[in-house]
Structure 1
Amino acid sequence: MASISATFVILLFTISFSVSTTLSASVIDDLKRLKPPQDFNSTIMKNCLQNPSLRYCSTSSPMDLDEIFKSTIVASHLCNESKNPNCVESFPKVDLRSRPNIAPLYLSFNFFWKYCPLSILSIDLSNTSLKSNFPIDVLHCTQIQSLDMSHNELYGDLPIENFSALTNLTVLNLSYNHFSESKISDTLFFKKFNCSSFLHSGLIPDHKKFRIKAIVLLIGFPIFVILKVCCLWWLCFHRPDFLPRMFRRKHRFTPAMLKAATNGFSRNNLMWKSASVDIYKGILRDGIDVRIEVYSRESHPQVIEECKVLVQLCHKNLVNLLGWCDNRKLRAIVTEWMEGENLESWLLGSSFTPWNYRLRILMGVVEGMCYLQEQWPEVGYDLRTSSIMLCNYSLDPKISRFKVGNQSSSSRRMYRFGVFLLEMMVNRRPQEEFERGEAGFIEYIKMHYPGNLEQLIDPKMELTQNTVDQAKQAISLGLMCTEVSSNRQPSLEQVFDIVSRAYQSCRVLASHHNHYHRRFHAERGKGHRRVQSR
């Protein structure tokens, strides 16, 4: 153990008598009570003359005698706390290990470390529960040979550049701290000491933790990839409605999408049920109300192939087909939901169905027929009052039943339109009310037309003198369309011209229209039932 310098011994003897009476007091109390003796300045000057290498002698700034005196007081206390054998003659070590209550106190005396005695060769501050950045003031003791600050909670960057002045340092222990990892290859500092100096300090990679991370990465990354693939597979093949629209398969619905839209095909969403098809109301994830027709696997084997054509239809008087689901568990088609009723229910249920409203519906149906004949001649349609959907309040008609391929001739289509028109005029059901069906229905009309027109026409139209001729003309047109074997049957273009002229003429009667409009909506407000077409 190196002995303390002679100059420091003289300094300690100078203040020993004044300190001895207060050694039992705390270091804080001593710093407050004790003052430098009158000859302290001369003592310091003598020390510097005898040993100019003393730290307070080599300072470039004027000496702070008060700080130097306080450092001697702290040195006396710290020498005793570190259990040095004779603090008057020697001060070889600072040993505060496992002293968490006082170590932060002595570290806070930066004036002591600034004038650190040259005799101190070892500093041990291990296991003192320090929670801070590295106490850089300790490195003012550049002569030390050993420094132990292990088993603390030091964090942040290690000031490696400040260690360059510690040329005598051979033993260093910074293990079990939380420093930021340093770049070992960029400095010779770490090469000076062995790895045990930095175990679990954060300064160098922990190989055990590295192995754990490697194992986690090797196992976790494939699991992450598998989960990611499973998630994408679920999104693409079960719930593509969660994907951006550009990534979805257009017009394709999955069973999971339809199940979610109908609350698990709940009974509350079931609108119609038969042996071959169940009809549900649903709400897609983007808020669109839809009608979902679920077919049995045995029925309509070509329904999906037909849907691929029907989704291309686009007209205001045709029900919009949104897509289909063709799965081994579920076969369904999805169309827009019509918030209203079909024409058959409207004619039967409403007590007031004026002629101008019927003519407006007829005009829309004819426009839809013209679109199909011109743009999609391969697409047929079932023209019945039960297959024409009416939008709520506006009563815009939409044809809802279609068939692709193997269609009837234009003559047969005109015949179906004629029967449809006559149904609208007389409000009778051919298949239900007549023994011979449509043939009996047509004979009934011919028997009463034109002589008994009042008994023939539906009284709920409440025809005026101005519109009775139009109604009579409509019945005549319907009968002409049913003349399949004669040359009297008109073409669709001719039907369009006739209906269009009647519709334009009817619109001129604006005052009558407004009267009927108010009366009609008052009647509908009473809560008559609305039914979705099968």
Structure 2
Amino acid sequence: MASSLFTFFLTTFLSNFLPLSVLSATVLEDLATLTPPPDFATTITTNCLHNPLLRYCNNTSSSSPMNITEIFRSTIVASHLCNESKNPNCIDSFPKIRIHGRPKTAALYLSFDFFWKYCPLTIVEIQLVNNSLKSEFPTNVLSCAQIRTLDLSYNQLTGSVPVQNLSRLTNLTHLNLSYNRFWEDKILNSEFFNRFNASSFIHSGLLPDVKRYKMRVLVLLVVFPIVVILLCCCLGWLCLKRPDYLPRTCRRRSHKFTSAMLDAATDEFSDQRLVSKRNGVDIYRGTLRDGREAKIEVYTEKVSKAKKREFEEECEAVFKLRHKNLVRVLGWCNSRNLRALVTEWTNGENVEAWLNSSLASSWRRRLRVVMRVVEGVSYLWEQWPEVAFDLNTRSVLLSGDDQEPLISQFKIGDGNNSSTNIFNFGLFLLEMITNLKPNEEQEDSERRYLEYIRVHCPGNVERVVDEKMKIEDRTLEKVKEAITLGLMCTDGSPLKQPSFMQIYDMVVSLYESSSRHH
């Protein structure tokens, strides 16, 4: 009924009111100047009386001139669209709007809001295909609520699709939004999507692209596991070989060094990093990854598994040493091919070199070094009797401006022999006074060295005291006491050696005496 009334109205209007020039190509351009014929309102009223359901009838109740003008212009646009859609019986029937591959024409008709507002009820199909439309979804066409087919494929439409508005088109059975650039939406899970098949949304942007989907599947099934495996391998390598690359909070035992870490710290144990070699111990100066300088003592002797376990236990003990006169132990390495102890590097000179400088000209200064060494040794003997140490003028370093002595070498794996430690302290004390030491290249050098001192002590002690050390008459007796203590410590019979408590008390007494005389 609505379709026949519209056809009647359109036929009557076109034949009686519109001159032929109105249908020319320029009419649409002159819409702003066109006005309805005098009895156009009567025609509209008559049509509405015959069929109140006509779309424009609800808009003329107020007899607004503006509404009449819009209806008039909409009728002109309808006439043009009828011709543009190439309907052979345009005046008799206007069921389809078909504009293919004419981007300027399609955009023009979409711009007429008033036409879509009064869209003829006869229109059941709208096709605006391949028109390069560069805009969001043309929501105006949804005013034609009776349409059954909507084809907007092969354009460049963007933005989101008004799913809710499309859902209200209950007659819509065919929809084609393919080959556009809409935003991917949750349309897959909506009831609206179930009304149409997937071909309605090919390359529309609404559905995941098949190639991209396959790529995602490939990444998830192949690439991702490979990446995870590689990451696990890298993490495993870091944990086993280079844990120093991990954050400190992730390192279970920051004091355990690997052979790879020490290789990196010493430039693969290059000769340029080698400091000294002696008694199965190679000493290197290394730079840890955090920038700290370290002394790395490498034990070259091959040992059994049981000895390696003992070495691990002894390193655990040495690592816990905390005293101002002991070099701090940073950690150790006990791998299959490398055993090493890592301690902090001290830039100061050792006592052997210091004795030949002008700073060692004072008896009190030398005695102060001895006193600090005794305090460090006392800490070891009392708190860590299982830790052995190597005490000599080369192994005691002087650190900082205050020349604080540091015992720097620990004899890991040798065990702690009290008699040997007392003997070594005696040699150290005698070297501090005489600035002489046994010639290690000669056999029986220690016995000859000690015999030389005994010959001149106590009657001719000035012959063995370092001539650079200024000795006053009142302190000479104290120097003799110190030499006597050193000779007692180096006595061949352990039964004749003083105990460590006796040594400590005597050194304290000597130091306090030097302070009073000073």
TM > 0.5 between the two?
Answer: yes
**Length-normalised TM-score, structure 1:** 0.82
Cα RMSD (Å): 3.5
- The DSSP-based 3-state class of the residue aligned with 1:431 is coil
Q: Structure 1 stretch 7-16 or stretch 162-171: which is displaced more?
A: 7-16
Shift in Å at residue 236 of structure 1? 1.1
Shift in Å at residue 379 of structure 1? 2.4
* Aligned equivalent of 2:228: 225
State the AA in 1 paired with 2:86.
K
**Are positions 1:480 and 2:480 aligned together?**
no
* Aligned equivalent of 1:194: 197
The counterpart of 2:418, out of the listed 386, 410, 422, is 410
The counterpart of 2:283, out of the listed 263, 279, 287, is 279
Shift in Å at residue 148 of structure 1? 0.8
* Aligned equivalent of 1:136: 139
- The DSSP-based 3-state class of the residue aligned with 1:271 is strand
Shift in CA distance, 493/53, structure 1 to aligned 2, threshold 3 Å: same
* Aligned equivalent of 2:48: 48
**Are positions 1:443 and 2:443 aligned together?**
no
1:441-495: CA deviation from partner (whole Å, max 9, x where unpaired):
2232233334444443223333456655543432232223233449764221122
* Aligned equivalent of 1:5: 7
- The DSSP-based 3-state class of the residue aligned with 1:459 is coil
* Aligned equivalent of 1:319: 327
Q: Distance in 2 between matches of 1:504 and 1:72?
A: 121
User: Would you say the 8 A contact 2:419–2:494 is kept in 1?
Assistant: no
1:291-312: CA deviation from partner (whole Å, max 9, x where unpaired):
2234446489947444344323
**Are positions 1:290 and 2:291 aligned together?**
no
* Aligned equivalent of 2:246: 243
1:347-366 residue pairs with structure 2 within 5 A? 347-349=355-357, 352-366=360-374
User: Would you say the 8 A contact 2:360–2:366 is kept in 1?
Assistant: no
Q: Distance in 2 between matches of 1:76 and 1:443?
A: 133
Shift in Å at residue 45 of structure 1? 3.2
* Aligned equivalent of 1:530: none
The counterpart of 2:405, out of the listed 384, 394, 397, is 397
Shift in Å at residue 160 of structure 1? 3.0
* Aligned equivalent of 1:425: 433
1:349-391: CA deviation from partner (whole Å, max 9, x where unpaired):
5565433332222122111211221122232222211111221
**Are positions 1:127 and 2:130 aligned together?**
yes
Shift in CA distance, 10/451, structure 1 to aligned 2, threshold 3 Å: farther
**Are positions 1:71 and 2:79 aligned together?**
no
Shift in Å at residue 348 of structure 1? 3.0
1:387-435: CA deviation from partner (whole Å, max 9, x where unpaired):
1122132322222222356646534432221111010111012225988
- The DSSP-based 3-state class of the residue aligned with 2:479 is helix
- The DSSP-based 3-state class of the residue aligned with 1:340 is coil
The counterpart of 1:159, out of the listed 154, 157, 162, is 162
Q: Distance in 2 between matches of 1:350 and 1:61?
A: 119
Shift in Å at residue 122 of structure 1? 1.4
User: Would you say the 8 A contact 1:324–1:332 is kept in 2?
Assistant: yes
State the AA in 2 paired with 1:44.
I
1:300-333: CA deviation from partner (whole Å, max 9, x where unpaired):
9947444344323332222222222233454433
Q: Structure 1 stretch 98-107 or stretch 316-325: which is displaced more?
A: 98-107
- The DSSP-based 3-state class of the residue aligned with 2:398 is strand
1:101-148: CA deviation from partner (whole Å, max 9, x where unpaired):
443343233222111122322111222333444322211111222111
Shift in Å at residue 79 of structure 1? 3.6
User: Would you say the 8 A contact 2:298–2:340 is kept in 1?
Assistant: yes
Higher relative contact order (CA 8 A, sep 6+): 1
Shift in Å at residue 226 of structure 1? 1.3
1:196-255: CA deviation from partner (whole Å, max 9, x where unpaired):
333344555677765554444222342233123212212211221233434424232123
| % identical equivalent positions | 52
- The DSSP-based 3-state class of the residue aligned with 2:356 is helix
**Length-normalised TM-score, structure 2:** 0.84
1:54-133 residue pairs with structure 2 within 5 A? 54-59=54-59, 62=62, 63=64, 64-65=66-67, 66-85=69-88, 88-133=91-136
**Are positions 1:385 and 2:393 aligned together?**
yes
State the AA in 2 paired with 1:344.
E
**Are positions 1:34 and 2:37 aligned together?**
no
Shift in CA distance, 446/205, structure 1 to aligned 2, threshold 3 Å: closer
User: Would you say the 8 A contact 1:148–1:172 is kept in 2?
Assistant: yes
Q: Distance in 1 between matches of 2:491 and 2:462?
A: 23
The counterpart of 2:258, out of the listed 244, 254, 263, is 254
- The DSSP-based 3-state class of the residue aligned with 1:325 is strand
User: Would you say the 8 A contact 2:187–2:193 is kept in 1?
Assistant: no
User: Would you say the 8 A contact 1:125–1:148 is kept in 2?
Assistant: yes
Shift in Å at residue 150 of structure 1? 1.9
Q: Structure 1 stretch 30-39 or stretch 299-308: which is displaced more?
A: 299-308
Q: Distance in 2 between matches of 1:169 and 1:488?
A: 115
Shift in CA distance, 460/7, structure 1 to aligned 2, threshold 3 Å: farther
- The DSSP-based 3-state class of the residue aligned with 2:25 is coil
Q: Distance in 1 between matches of 2:242 and 2:497?
A: 52
User: Would you say the 8 A contact 1:344–1:385 is kept in 2?
Assistant: yes
Q: Distance in 2 between matches of 1:82 and 1:288?
A: 84
Shift in CA distance, 482/275, structure 1 to aligned 2, threshold 3 Å: closer
* Aligned equivalent of 1:502: 510
User: Would you say the 8 A contact 1:412–1:484 is kept in 2?
Assistant: no
Shift in CA distance, 274/83, structure 1 to aligned 2, threshold 3 Å: farther
Q: Distance in 2 between matches of 1:365 and 1:495?
A: 12
Q: Structure 1 stretch 215-224 or stretch 140-149: which is displaced more?
A: 215-224
* Aligned equivalent of 1:532: none
Shift in CA distance, 277/86, structure 1 to aligned 2, threshold 3 Å: farther
1:131-183: CA deviation from partner (whole Å, max 9, x where unpaired):
44432221111122211112334455433332344333332222334453435
1:244-273: CA deviation from partner (whole Å, max 9, x where unpaired):
434424232123322333455555544346
* Aligned equivalent of 2:184: 180
User: Would you say the 8 A contact 1:283–1:289 is kept in 2?
Assistant: yes
Shift in CA distance, 75/258, structure 1 to aligned 2, threshold 3 Å: farther
Shift in CA distance, 143/259, structure 1 to aligned 2, threshold 3 Å: same
* Aligned equivalent of 1:490: 498
Point out where structure 2 has 5 or more consecutive residues left out of the alignment.
none
User: Would you say the 8 A contact 1:425–1:475 is kept in 2?
Assistant: yes
User: Would you say the 8 A contact 1:378–1:405 is kept in 2?
Assistant: no
State the AA in 2 paired with 1:72.
T
Q: Distance in 1 between matches of 2:516 and 2:15?
A: 126
Q: Distance in 1 between matches of 2:179 and 2:352?
A: 87
